[in-house]
Structure 1
Amino acid sequence: MAEKTNLLNRILNSVIFRNARSKAGHTAKNPAVILQLLAQVFQKLNTSPNGVVSQVQEKVGLLGRLLRSYARGDYREIPWKSLVLTIAVLIYFVSPIDVIPDLLPIIGLTDDVALILWLFKAISEDLERFRQWEKKQAVPLETEE
């Protein structure tokens, strides 16, 4: 547990994550840039070793759907702070240069996974609201006959 906390503190206090947070505010205001970021995220998921990234693949998929819905203007119920934090984590995720460089096979993704898991705890209520909204969108409307 102490090792996870230590790694997470190193990530959150790193220059790389601070830069990602700085970029995230600007990215959040530009739907096209959000969609470009998502393309990079899913490309990284598809080219990463399955073992490490598979732990967070479903979680990243949820984040991707959330950001895509936000960028398209369909869902705007996420607080600005949570939106910017989510984007910052994904900017960090796609960066090959981070606390543990992604060029190191398997171990290089450890910091990315730790940060995504932390994000899920940090914005869990916002993600649950999005899931509920998403479920409502999937319900077909009854048609009058």
Structure 2
Amino acid sequence: MRGLRTVLVAAFGAFALAGCAPQDGPQPPMPPAGGEPAQNQSYDDGLGRGMNAADRAACEAEGGTVQRRGRLGMEQCVHAYADAGKQCTDSAQCQGKCVGSAGAVSPDKAASGICQADDRLYGCYAEVRNGKAVAAICVD
């Protein structure tokens, strides 16, 4: 019985380690030499994360920039806020949200933050309202 248990444990360990081996599979295409795609062409990695040329042009025409954001690296139209980084104690003082570090201050204590940099807020943060850190969240 002890021998059977040893064999089963060894087999399970081998299967578990086999799951860690790198798998060959389709690789996303590399951008053309020079690093960036041509301006009239969007870089599509084959996974649907690239923005098409028409959407890219519309974004840039309205003052945005195309950036890859989030864990998936999706191309998104990003608009910077003029008051980015300004000290604040309430979101009403900012174009976007007044944000502080999530969990840095307890909700019952006074808090201040900074105005968010752009309209695509990712990461962990707490919104600051009426001088208190509220609504802590992690966005990806």
Task: Give the TM-score of the pair, scaled to structure 2.
Answer: 0.21
Bigger relative contact order (CA 8 A; separation at least 6): 1
Larger Rg over CA atoms: 2
Task: Give the TM-score of the pair, scaled to structure 1.
Answer: 0.21
Structure with greater helix share of residues: 1
